[in-house]
Structure 1
């Protein structure tokens, strides 16, 4: 970003006449995001531009949620946190988030959930019951959508030789069904009556692996935290896995005792703050009992606020001990990464695979590395 772009961000719409509009789409979106908030500073001083069509009533909560989501996408974590703090403390937009009636009427979504959890410390105690119900609804929706795909990927492939009495559509055997029902074809209508529908059995896979999910709960990782909590719960229900869940900012919190309850997990996280990845990886290294049967999944934007040298050293040591390492720059339905590529490249050189995955692709990756 050059100096001219910085001045455009400072001046907002009032820069257009003298400096011209931004050439790039992302720069334009940054300007609009900042103007959405800081135009209130001008309005408070009775300064309005000729094209000022903003409403004195302010934004509604859906608009605010979308704006917060955009701020986290467009700006580095530290900048996004400053902007959010101004929105809450200087301009009072937290009142929208803190209205239990408004929250209860909104359609639950991961984006709304991430916003509410990030602002939870600003909310009155009477709002927390509504927040918990919101968490429950989002978790149930995500779990229902992901559970079947994840379990199918991790519990085995279909057996082409054995059939099962369990009628699961994904295991339907069309050829076997036709063979079993050839004698039920009506010669006149040439229609087959399916008296015996066949379904494949799935081969059980025994994977004595420990899975450590180490999740960054800093500002840019909100959506990934939500999906990580749901994934940890699904994985923990599979008997061949022992799942540990660790979340971190500058502090490290082990949420393994509630790993099977994603609602409680998400109510326990404290989104935002700094990032000390090295400290978190060091803690997870202490959980490793059998390196050759351990997978460490680090979900982070790799924006190390602690010792970069210590982080590289920790990852290298784990790789040398034969722990399988995966660094995820994003774990959500979109898998759109925004991360420190230089730091990620250094960790990749030490033996950590780097990717941005949707939850079902993470399950496929686990299947590959533990086969």
Structure 2
């Protein structure tokens, strides 16, 4: 409890008083009469006791057993979330929220506008909102869309530049241009060429002439094609969100042609919506069964030039359809020249639950099978587009790839 102690200095306590304070915070015994606890300490203890106190964990099964708990009032939960945010950093807040959803069955609270406004937004919240959107009231749905748009914008900001740079490839530094893109500007030469435009009162240079590098251009007919085929069953929710965002980023680049197909037992081709990642996410149907074979067949029919195509299948490989037919289809794609990669997860944790037997069978076809974090995905795609050995790339990135003997994979940090 050192962090909490530092955040809430109660004043001049004796060493015994400070020990008592820490002990009471640790065990959740918020004695209103104890001089060891400040008002902030009591708020912190009460906020944690509502979730982790005696009986709170039984609330989902039987609300009558709850002694603490958050209740079913949206304003009360919003106040609780405000208390939690005042004591902990965002990462800890997200963990506490996740515990609240699981222990107290707070999914129904996502239907309340007041709760949505108070909650700390993250990828898991996007998945929850998408799964509940069909039963949300109109007012709540509008707020949910705004929250999702905000999270997507932050993720795009985090992932877009690295993805673009990795996929576009190296700059052609042998040629220069006076009309470079912002990321292609040669700043030392630009500053040198504009020194006469220095503004002393602003202590800056006004660059009237930009100097930058040209990129190697590729004809449209030569463009590689990337097909992202994503399992949208409930266990893959975070992977669907990240894959959709990456697909939208890649679709905006003129150096590759990108397609996005999501599936459970049905298939949703979202390629036409890639200009709007929020719209893509609202086209996803999280949950349901899994027919990977059917989805692979759909994608295979739409691959026009196998030797210029890259097929990234994102799934936990729990096949509800025809497993043997799935393996035959994947083998046929490899033989035709398609660069096939199977990602068991595309999440920040990178530690998936998956079907080890099917993963081993897919790996036996010579297909790399592993989990990947969003931060590593752009580099993985760049290596795939260069037709590098993805297994060797994964080893260099400290990622464990599934072998035919079905080792458990983890993604590098």
Same fold by TM (over 0.5)?
yes
Q: Which among 115, 120, 124 is matched to residue 137 of structure 2?
A: 124
| RMSD of equivalent CA atoms | 3.5
Whole-Å Cα distance in 1 between the matches of residues 315 and 227 of structure 2?
14
What whole-Å deviation, never above 9, does each CA across 1:82-134 have from its counterpart, x for those lacking one? x98xx9xxx87443110012213334321211111122233223321112112
- Could you tell me how far 1:43 is from its partner in structure 2? 4.7
* 1:271 partner SS: coil
- Could you tell me how far 1:298 is from its partner in structure 2? 0.6
- Could you tell me how far 1:323 is from its partner in structure 2? 0.9
Q: 1:156 to 1:119 in 2, by over 3 A?
A: same
1:170-189 matched pairs, under 5 angstroms: 172=186
Whole-Å Cα distance in 2 between the matches of residues 264 and 331 of structure 1?
20
What whole-Å deviation, never above 9, does each CA across 1:135-189 have from its counterpart, x for those lacking one? 2111111112211111111112033433444374676576x789x69x99xxxxx
1:335-354 matched pairs, under 5 angstroms: 335-354=350-369
Whole-Å Cα distance in 2 between the matches of residues 271 and 253 of structure 1?
11
Counterpart of 2:331? 316
> Structure 1 length as normaliser, TM-score?
0.70
Whole-Å Cα distance in 1 between the matches of residues 120 and 265 of structure 2?
33
| Counterpart check, 1:221 vs 2:228 | no
Counterpart of 2:17? none
Q: 1:204 to 1:105 in 2, by over 3 A?
A: farther
Counterpart of 1:139? 152
* 1:41 partner SS: coil
Q: 1:205 to 1:36 in 2, by over 3 A?
A: farther
Q: Which among 269, 274, 277 is matched to residue 262 of structure 1?
A: 277
* 1:242 partner SS: strand
Counterpart of 1:54? 68
**Which structure has the higher relative contact order (CA within 8 Å, separation 6+)?**
1
Whole-Å Cα distance in 2 between the matches of residues 167 and 296 of structure 1?
30
Counterpart of 1:361? 376
- Could you tell me how far 1:333 is from its partner in structure 2? 3.6
Whole-Å Cα distance in 1 between the matches of residues 376 and 258 of structure 2?
18
> Structure 2 length as normaliser, TM-score?
0.64
Whole-Å Cα distance in 1 between the matches of residues 163 and 139 of structure 2?
36
Q: Which among 296, 300, 306 is matched to residue 311 of structure 2?
A: 296
Conserved? CA contact 2:172–2:213, under 8 Å:
yes
Counterpart of 1:286? 301
